[in-house]
């Protein structure tokens, strides 16, 4: 036997040299990003406990849940199929709830989504840095005001007897208006107050996208004789288009979601015709009336419609603009 043959002889006993061991991609990722994964772990645990684990409760939408049995009643209740969904669709409130929820969210999208974009474009055109920063801070602050405080401000400003809005109306010879007692005013109050509270904070992403545009492009357009309107129309807007589309698709996911706290604090039985939404109806049925299975079915219906809207919006965005979330 030659020396080469002896050198190539395989090790006996079934042992494998360390260099022959293969490391899986998952092991490589764990070794490389172990500290990053440790940072993400609390977020994953939070989602599992507070988002995914409660989804087991959706089963009660198809059963006759018995509250007295606790968690055991979740799976021991009688299976009733689509009984609760049928009850909701046959309810005289179904159309009103869907209409009010959709319209309030739709108006908030139509009037509330463009305002942060316009504000971001305007604020980035200010040359003086201190003035620009002061404007941003002043518009960010309302976002951090508690919903309870905002609703208290709305009640005080719109009070028929002492509200500043009615004082101004009376100053010009008009009669006081009970804004929160009239159904036709509720959507306007909800949309305007929501846009005022959130437009500054929502503009942060658009401001960041605009500030990321290279200054060389601005200089090139100025050399070509472009004015501010031309720069905004042909440079700024096309540059932030992917960001706008992405946030628009995400905003479409809220078309069937209206802030429960704000509606609950502002509405009253007298204006249910325009103020009652799915979330408040689920609260009354589930918490106040203890009809948990029915409330879960209504909530599940709302979630399914929301998912369908997001899916269609993302698909339309991918076809029209070649930009999508997934």
Whether the predicted pLDDT of 145 surpasses 70: yes
Distance CA 305, CA 83 (A): 19
Bridge partner list, 31: none
Question: For the whole model, what pTM was predicted?
Answer: 0.81
Query: pLDDT tens-digit profile of 282-298?
Result: 999 998 888 989 999 99
Say what the pLDDT of residue 228 is: 87
Percentage helix, strand, coil for the chain under 3-state DSSP, each rounded to 5: 75, 0, 25
Distance CA 96, CA 275 (A): 9
* Cβ proximity of 113 and 205 under 8 Å: no
Distance CA 231, CA 199 (A): 23
Distance CA 179, CA 42 (A): 45
Distance CA 121, CA 203 (A): 9
First to last CA, the chain: 62
Which region among 6-20, 70-84, 116-130, 262-276 has the lowest average model confidence (pLDDT)?
Answer: 6-20
Distance CA 133, CA 131 (A): 5
Q: How confident is the model at residue 2 (pLDDT cuts 50, 70, 90)?
A: very low
In SS3 terms, 101-125 reads as: HHHHHHHHHHHHCHHHHHHHHHHHC
Which region among 54-63, 72-81, 190-199 has the lowest average model confidence (pLDDT)?
Answer: 72-81
Which region among 1-15, 22-36, 112-126, 146-160 has the lowest average model confidence (pLDDT)?
Answer: 1-15
Distance CA 302, CA 257 (A): 8
Whether the predicted pLDDT of 1 surpasses 50: no
Query: pLDDT tens-digit profile of 98-143?
Result: 999 999 999 999 999 999 999 999 999 888 888 988 988 999 999 9
Residues 195-202: what's their mean pLDDT?
A: 92
CATH number 1.10.3720.10 is the correct assignment for the domain at 92-321: yes
The percentage of the chain sitting over the pLDDT mark of 90, rounded to a whole number, equals 51
Distance CA 175, CA 159 (A): 13
Rounded mean pLDDT of the chain? 86
Say what the pLDDT of residue 20 is: 47
């Amino acid at each position: 036997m030659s020396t080469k043959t002896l050198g190539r002889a395989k090790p006996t006993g079934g042992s494998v040299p360390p260099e022959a061991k293969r490391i899986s991609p998952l092991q490589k990722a764990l070794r490389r990003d172990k500290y990053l994964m440790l940072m993400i772990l609390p977020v994953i645990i939070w989602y599992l406990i507070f988002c995914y684990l409660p989804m087991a409760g959706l089963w009660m939408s198809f059963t006759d849940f018995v509250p007295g049995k606790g968690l055991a009643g979740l799976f021991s209740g009688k299976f009733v199929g689509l009984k609760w969904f049928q009850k909701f669709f046959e309810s005289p409130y179904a159309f009103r709830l869907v209409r009010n929820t959709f319209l309030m969210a739709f108006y908030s999208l139509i009037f509330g989504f463009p305002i942060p974009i316009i504000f971001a474009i305007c604020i980035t055109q200010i040359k003086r840095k201190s003035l620009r920063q002061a404007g941003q801070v002043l518009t960010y602050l309302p976002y951090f005001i508690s919903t309870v405080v905002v609703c208290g401000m709305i009640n005080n400003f719109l009070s028929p007897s002492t509200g500043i809005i009615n004082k101004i109306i009376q100053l010009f010879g008009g009669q006081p208006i009970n804004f929160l007692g009239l159904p036709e005013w509720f959507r306007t109050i909800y949309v305007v107050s929501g846009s005022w509270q959130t437009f500054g904070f929502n503009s942060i992403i658009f401001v960041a996208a605009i500030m990321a545009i290279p200054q060389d492009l601005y200089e090139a357009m100025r050399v070509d004789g472009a004015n501010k309107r031309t720069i905004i129309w042909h440079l700024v807007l096309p540059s932030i288009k992917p960001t706008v589309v992405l946030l628009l698709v995400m905003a479409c996911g809220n078309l069937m979601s209206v802030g429960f706290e704000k509606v609950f604090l502002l509405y009253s039985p007298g204006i249910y015709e325009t103020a009652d939404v799915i979330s408040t109806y689920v609260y009354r049925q589930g918490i106040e009336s203890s009809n948990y299975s029915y409330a879960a079915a209504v909530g599940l219906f709302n979630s399914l419609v929301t998912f369908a809207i997001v899916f269609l919006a993302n698909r339309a965005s991918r076809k029209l603009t070649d930009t999508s979330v997934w």
